[in-house]
Structure 1
Amino acid sequence: MLDEAIHADLTIITADGTLKAHKAVMSATSPAFKASYHDSNEEKESSTIHIEDMSQESCMALLSYMYGTIKPGDFWKHRLALLGAANKYDIGDLKDACEESLLEDLNSGNVLERLNEAWLYQLQKLKKGCFTFLFDFGKIYDVREEINTFFRHADRDLMLEMFQEVLTIWKTTLDRKSLKMLPGPCYLPHPDKMWRGGEDAHIACADEQAIVVADGVGGWANFGVNAGEFALSTCITFSSISLMSSMM
């Protein structure tokens, strides 16, 4: 029916081509399409719609899903584009399927991208999966070279939520008695220069690890105490973020 365009009454203009489809099928699958056809005389009478934020190939995958003929390989290939379309056109079951699929192959090479997608489309299960991969499994160290770039473009609320996740993990996995606050100002020697935290900079420490909550920079590190200074050996910097001790 889709491939042969039998009785097709709709032309879809994509970013790089056109496709034929049926209003009835698209309306039955997408509440957004259904509403546009029922609520707008212009849309109801029109035989053309524009989906120019999708390629012809990705849009064909979307139509195949709506018609129930999509192949697993096509779904896998276009799932990010399908996720965006599912969110835009209110196709809940497709959105859920994309979220489940994106959870299946999380790795160090895609976890930050997936986390961004999870935040953008409010995918709670995928977001939690990314947090678990990064923090519970300790894979944050595998993406230390990419993390600063990620934070320069990430939503501030997402960065705050990531820090809260780290603190939650610390509170549940470390002995509370060994966790203490060391108020600022504090000094963290760096390979190139001495970093000085201001009065608002604090360190939550437990044994030989620390989370630095600073007046403009945050991170966590392994350290050793020596004459009131902290020798920084491994630190992942959280740029463009200001966290006070009230979060602890």
Structure 2
Amino acid sequence: MKSVLIAAALLLATPAFAAPSAASLFAAGKYPEAVAAGTTEATAASLIIAGRAQLQIAAYQTSDKAKARSLIAAANSNFDAALAKSPGNVDATLQKIIAQGYVAKLDQSPGGAKAMKKGLDAFLAAHPDNAVAWAVLGGWNGGAVASVGKFVAGTMLGANLGGMTKAFDRAMALAPTDPAHPSFYALTLLDIDDDNAPQAKALLTRAAAMPATDGYSIALKNAGGAVLKLLNAGDNKGAQAAARRVLPFGMLGKS
């Protein structure tokens, strides 16, 4: 009887292994698992992680537009649920703007792109020190130029290379140790023109020396690292093709 009691006491004293958090799963690139964990945890923060994971799958791991749209819609539902728990939540608000931009990109909609930019401008007016939002603005300007050229991007959308540079510079100044921003900037530059390879190489080399602190930074740093290998080998065309594959909706092909 004594041995049974001792065994029971040992079992009770043994700590249970906690399930991985949504944030840790997102950082590990386990996006479907992060979605499940985030919705199960059901806090504002975890619901945002779940939505971000759905956007990652839609933008970087999906080759079907209908599936991408469905994932973006599901992400928006999670962001809305987060906002219901935490009204005015800054991260959820920004992620909804990013999702809006993704839909505009999928639809190749100038009107949608303008609406997203209007929302982003309002967000930055309220949160001028948000580095991620500035990087999103840099990507919006650079992505528009890469997609339709300088003239059309400027006349139809008001997007330009000067706006791209200013926004990315601001993002990097606000978060000088985050590899996400120089990585995203470098990939965007290569998407525009492989002649930007020297600047992209310098940015990716800089990013490679920075610690990645969250899932977003880890994903972009890893993507940039693969492109940097090609640049270091002198394969600028190959680096451009690789950059395009790892930018949002690269699996759908360059439009």
TM-score scaled by structure 2? 0.28
Rg comparison, structure with higher value: 1
TM-score scaled by structure 1? 0.29
Structure richer in helix, relative to its length: 2
Q: Which has the higher contact order (CA 8 A, sep 6+)?
A: 2
Structure richer in strand, relative to its length: 1
